[in-house]
């Protein structure tokens, strides 16, 4: 059964001190429900993507919590796969509508990271890594820095390639009033910023963010008839040390292969993509893993402007994780919201030219979980 | 599509100091896979029920972790709904096979609670409650003690009624070599034990446990053709203070109503049930909420021996959460394993007389989430 997107909701992303996770989840969910024009009685299940709230706020059971806040008594689930939690929640919701079990469901991804000290968040985020990595004292910037170094040694990827990702995504975010960082940056600013983990500077890294995103998935369409034509998940070892390669993400390659097979499309058909740029190197690897360019050419591909707003393929028009923000459990759902709005022509200043096929790429950890969606109209 | 149980695996429950959560999950999963005689290549998805490992061990992304340890690259999810996490994982897996999406999937519930101090575990478990409850200094024994007091005031439930639950479940556990407490207790021992939260003593309370349980669900049967004829979830407010009643669990009543409707059965058809006796009062309320007896008569019903091994209806033949143990994420899956073994006639010393219909009742928190399954052969 075809799965339509009939409503979307998105909070501002950023440091939202005055709102709790519950506030943000409610705001996004209600906006999505209102847009979908589906009454609450017709909602048959709720899927909540969240990674950190149990650890940072000691609140579990978010499925029941958010469902009951909305006034629902239907099946409600919290789904977790680290930074791919939102994507996994969309995937399970898609399956439930696709199979004909439900006609209307809500997915909400939410995270509240700014209420805690940086160290508490950094430690909590390492739950997405392996025990060996935590014991070794690694952090996520460290893990992605190793991938950046490996990619650089294998393919010659340079500082300027990394910078081109951040410059493009900050430009896109400057056009997005929901983005955490609505300003442009240049190479000079990047190279003079704090080195987080060589070669990754502050501006190579996605921020700590609060935010929520929600969508309503339905078996009957409306609002421009945007539908999800493929939803695929693949997994791999959690620890980078057990991976066969450091310069690519095998789970993403596997998931996108399956996704394109399901809907009969290929990378050449994609007009718009939201990819998991938790660090700049991740977007470079994504371009290669998703087949938008050849292995090793991701840096050049981005630097040449081929993924900037106005090109045939626009990548991370929201500003991506880097500049729109990365409330981890919300990210996978926000990607869907951005592509849905683009396909409907509702993206205002950052609207692309009549896109028909969109893709989202949501990654957990360094690639233990990859969730790929294809959206079409 | 009919959903068959084709394999089950269960570790010993207890304080298993020498095993990690990963060890336990692998042991149960491999046993289930081996019994199902399904090769790994045919497994299409993995659902992991877990509540606490993120908080207690800072390890998230258990879907990918356990899947990759097993050698799988297929979609893998961690599902969380506090103490109903295991039941929710079975529910999602059931839906995926029932809808025809997958032919064979694995569900594993696992928890590792004994590596931490009692206070860390007690605090972590309060994630299943509401923020108001945590701020008020409540613990789960406190919340269930309030329910016990309310039930007692409304219906006259006595100390001896509560005791009858613990005595029966310890008797059952004395026949189960996987149980945490394989010994019988009597009323004198209960009333002389530590008062945890009046009126609930030590022997009214389920223990801190380690353990894992796994099942393989398949679209084609074998091994006695036990199938899941209903899988239903209902939710309610997380905080007890927002609930309309303290002496019953509305979500359980709603879920069981839907479950019986789906399979055309009623409480009178049930031969064996595993219910969520996190505290003795919970089993008394469960008897009433599930329709096995009238409201207010749960204590008498159990005390009269009507749910003891050998009766028409046997409840918690495993020993229940009370005496078999309660590794929270494993519990909902273990309940399925117990009923499956009973329906197959594979329960050894605690085998009931040719049961045909079994029920499982898994609750998150004080009833924010309720998951009901009906199993038949």
B89 within 8 A of B332, measured Cβ to Cβ: yes
Cβ within 8 Å, pair A77-B81:
yes
B87 within 8 A of B362, measured Cβ to Cβ: yes
| Cα atoms in the 13 Å half-sphere on the side-chain side of B98 | 17
Q: Given B83, B197, B278, B293, which residue is catalytic?
A: B83
Q: Tens of pLDDT along B273-287?
A: 999 999 999 999 999
pLDDT band of residue A223 (cuts 50, 70, 90) is low
Q: Tens of pLDDT along A61-110?
A: 999 999 999 999 999 999 999 999 999 999 999 999 999 999 999 999 99
Measure in Å the smallest separation between the Cα of A278 and chain B Cα atoms. Answer: 17
Report the alpha-carbon distance of residue B132 to residue B212 in Å, rounded. 31
The maximal CA–CA distance of chain B, rounded, in angstroms, is: 56
Chain A, residues 201-240, CB within 8 A of chain B, namely 232-238
Chain A, residues 96-115, CB within 8 A of chain B, namely 96, 98-101
Q: Tens of pLDDT along A271-324?
A: 999 999 999 999 999 999 999 999 999 999 999 999 999 999 999 999 999 999
pLDDT band of residue B223 (cuts 50, 70, 90) is low
- Asked if pLDDT for residue B57 goes beyond 80, the answer is yes
DSSP structure string for B186-251: -HHHHHTSPEEETTEEGGGBPPP-EEEEEEEEESS--TTTEEEEEEEEEE--SSGGGSS-SSS-HH
What is the three-class DSSP state of A101? coil
* Total Cβ atoms within 10 A of residue A283: 29
pLDDT band of residue B222 (cuts 50, 70, 90) is confident
Q: CA B311 → CA A203, B49, B95, B352, distances in Å?
A: 69, 32, 33, 8
- Asked if pLDDT for residue A118 goes beyond 80, the answer is no
B151 included as an active-site residue: no
ipTM rounded to 2 decimals = 0.97
Cβ within 8 Å, pair A63-B81:
yes
Q: Tens of pLDDT along A356-369?
A: 999 999 999 999 99
Contact residues for A199 (Cβ-Cβ < 8 A; gap 6+)? A145, A148, A149, A152, A159, A162
According to the model, what pLDDT value does residue A86 have?
98
Q: Given A83, A197, A263, A324, which residue is catalytic?
A: A83
Q: Tens of pLDDT along A285-297?
A: 999 999 999 999 9
- Count of helix runs (H) and strand runs (E) in chain A: 14, 12
According to the model, what pLDDT value does residue A13 have?
98
B83 included as an active-site residue: yes
Cβ within 8 Å, pair A92-B92:
yes
User: Which candidate from A80, A123, A368 shows the least CB-CB separation from B80?
Assistant: A80
- Asked if pLDDT for residue A115 goes beyond 90, the answer is no
């Amino acid at each position: 059964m075809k799965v339509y997107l009939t409503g979307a909701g998105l909070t501002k992303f950023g440091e939202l001190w005055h709102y709790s996770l519950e506030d943000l989840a409610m705001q996004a969910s209600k906006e999505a429900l209102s847009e979908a024009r589906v009454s609450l009685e017709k909602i048959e299940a709720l899927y909540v993507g969240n990674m950190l709230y149990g650890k940072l706020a000691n609140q579990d059971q978010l499925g029941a919590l958010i469902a009951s806040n909305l006034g629902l008594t239907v099946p409600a689930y919290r789904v977790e796969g680290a930074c791919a939690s939102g994507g996994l929640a969309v995937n399970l919701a898609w399956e439930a509508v696709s199979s004909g079990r439900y006609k209307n469901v809500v997915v909400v991804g939410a995270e509240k990271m700014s209420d805690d000290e940086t160290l508490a968040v950094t430690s909590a985020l390492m739950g997405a890594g392996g025990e060996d990595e935590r014991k070794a004292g690694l952090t996520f910037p460290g893990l992605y820095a190793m991938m950046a170094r490996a990619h650089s040694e294998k393919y010659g990827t340079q500082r300027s390639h990394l910078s081109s990702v951040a410059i493009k995504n900050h430009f896109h975010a400057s056009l997005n009033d929901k983005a955490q960082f609505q300003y442009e940056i240049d190479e000079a600013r990047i190279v003079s910023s704090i080195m987080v983990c060589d070669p990754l500077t502050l501006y190579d890294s996605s921020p700590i963010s609060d935010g929520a995103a929600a969508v309503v998935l339905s078996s009957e369409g409306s609002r421009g008839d945007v539908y999800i034509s493929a939803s695929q998940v693949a997994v791999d070892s959690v620890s980078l040390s057990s991976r066969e390669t450091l310069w690519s993400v095998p789970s993403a390659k596997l998931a996108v292969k399956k996704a394109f097979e399901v809907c009969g499309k290929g990378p050449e058909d994609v007009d718009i993509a939201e990819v998991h740029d938790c660090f700049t190197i991740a977007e470079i690897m994504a371009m290669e893993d998703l087949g938008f360019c050849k292995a090793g050419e991701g840096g050049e591909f981005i630097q040449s402007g081929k993924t900037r707003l106005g090109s045939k393929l626009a990548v991370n028009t929201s500003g991506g994780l880097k500049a729109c923000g990365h409330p981890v459990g919300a990210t996978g759902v926000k990607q869907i919201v951005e592509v849905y709005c683009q396909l409907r022509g509702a993206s205002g200043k950052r609207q692309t030219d009549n896109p028909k096929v969109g893709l989202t790429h949501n990654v957990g950890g360094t690639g233990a979980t990859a969730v790929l969606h294809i959206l079409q109209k």
